Structure 1
Amino acid sequence: MRLIPGFFTLLLAGLLSACGADKPLATVDQVDLVRYSGTWYEIARLPQWFQRGCYNSTATYSLNEDGTVRVVNRCQRDDKEPSEAQGTARVVPGSDNAKLKVRFDSWISKLLPTITEGNYWIIALDKNYQTVVIGEPSREYLWILARTPQLPDDQYQALLQLAESKGFPVDELQRNRDLQPEQ
């Protein structure tokens, strides 16, 4: 009968170690939304269903009068007009603008506004507001963005290492320039 307590101890240890993957995700200390505004180019991302077939992706942010942030995401898709998604981000109170909740305009978001909000956490941002890493606590979403369409490889590798140190599966990242169709 000593096997049963040993089994439960192992099971409990396994469950607790799995919880380590859900350790808190640290963000930057603060974000100046005025400096953050403008266009950012996607350098790399974890694959997402809503971005399937997208390349040359950009995100443009601007401040609304009510303190929220207007979000316009654009991308190119093969043999189609550019795709655009518009939404609104609101700052999570107490986060010094480093945590946002984003909702894109659709019929379901109008019906269930808070359920359709996604976490947009700024986990790295250089002091000159030229590169940013965005993620969220489950580590299922990750974007590396820059003010220019490409980054030098040493900068990209440094951002990859940072994301990996925070528990993101960087081996699954797709680089934006690798998503472009052959000419």
Structure 2
Amino acid sequence: MFAAALLSIGPLPRSWQLALRLVGLGLVCSLSACTHPIPQRIQVIQNFDAARYAGTWYVLARIDHPAELGLIQTGVHYRSNYDGSLSMVQRGLDPASKQWSKHESLALPAGAPSQGALKTAPLGPFSSAYNVVALDADYRWALVLGASADRAWVLSRTASLPAQARASLLQQAHRAGVNIEQLLWVPQERLPSALAAL
């Protein structure tokens, strides 16, 4: 019932929508003793700064799953909020239909704000894991895992990675248990104009 109410809050100002989503996520987690799954064999980063992480990223590679299946020119924009959460807008192009897909969600710290462990929720209060397991010192690229190593994303501030950075990321992904043969490298042609619309 609460989730249905959240889905019907369209006319409210954006700040109210964000506040209601935060309350809903906190309520469900407190009632159900939410736990945050961190994949085995990996450590999330310990010096995470949400404000520095904010901004636009290209999704250069991923392990495909139904929500992103077949999408190209994928990217995500994060906005840092006053409470330490991150508002997320993900976009991708379906090359068959020529239609853009857009998803909004919210990421809250799953533990200490300085850890790269977050829990994300779309419009409703049910959360999923978002683990930053590798991050460039200058926040130029990142490796993110979900609740298991079967969900993985390679993010970059640019549409391609230097060979050395790519090799380092793949090595770290392999150590974290990711089957790097399953990583799909996403075509990024014309993405800058698409990301400008996020």
TM-score by length of 2: 0.70
**2: distance between equivalents of 1:92 and 1:146?**
23
Matching residue of 1:7: none
Deviations 1:52-87, CA, capped at 9 Å, x for gaps: 121110011001233321000011112333110001
3-state secondary structure, aligned to 1:49: coil
Quote the offset at 1:93 in angstroms: 2.1
Where do 5+ consecutive residues of structure 2 fail to align?
A: 1-38, 191-198
Q: 2:102 aligns with which of 75, 81, 84?
A: 84
**2: distance between equivalents of 1:102 and 1:177?**
26
- Structure 1 residues 44 and 69: alpha-carbon distance in aligned structure 2, compared to 1, 3 A threshold: same
3-state secondary structure, aligned to 2:169: helix
**Contact 2:130 2:147 (8 Å CA) reproduced:** no
1:158 aligns with 2:168: yes
Matching residue of 2:145: 135
3-state secondary structure, aligned to 2:161: coil
Matching residue of 1:10: none
Aligned residues: 151
Alignment of 1:1-183 (within 5 A): 23-78=40-95, 79-94=97-112, 96-105=114-123, 109=124, 113=125, 116-177=126-187
Quote the offset at 1:166 in angstroms: 1.2
**Contact 1:25 1:136 (8 Å CA) reproduced:** no
3-state secondary structure, aligned to 1:157: helix
**2: distance between equivalents of 1:47 and 1:158?**
21
Quote the offset at 1:104 in angstroms: 1.4
Matching residue of 2:34: none
Quote the offset at 1:33 in angstroms: 1.0
Where do 5+ consecutive residues of structure 1 fail to align?
A: 1-21
Quote the offset at 1:95 in angstroms: 5.4
Two-structure CA RMSD over aligned residues (Å): 2.0
The higher radius of gyration belongs to 1
**2: distance between equivalents of 1:23 and 1:66?**
29
Deviations 1:92-138, CA, capped at 9 Å, x for gaps: 12252411001112xxx2xxx2xx31111110001000000001342
**2: distance between equivalents of 1:97 and 1:27?**
7
- Structure 1 residues 24 and 154: alpha-carbon distance in aligned structure 2, compared to 1, 3 A threshold: closer
Task: Give the percent of matched residue pairs that are identical in Structure 1 and Structure 2.
Answer: 26
Quote the offset at 1:154 in angstroms: 2.8
Which deviates more from structure 2 when the two are superposed, residues 77-86 or residues 162-171?
A: 77-86
Structure 1 segments of 4+ aligned residues over 3 angstroms from their partners: none
- Structure 1 residues 178 and 62: alpha-carbon distance in aligned structure 2, compared to 1, 3 A threshold: closer
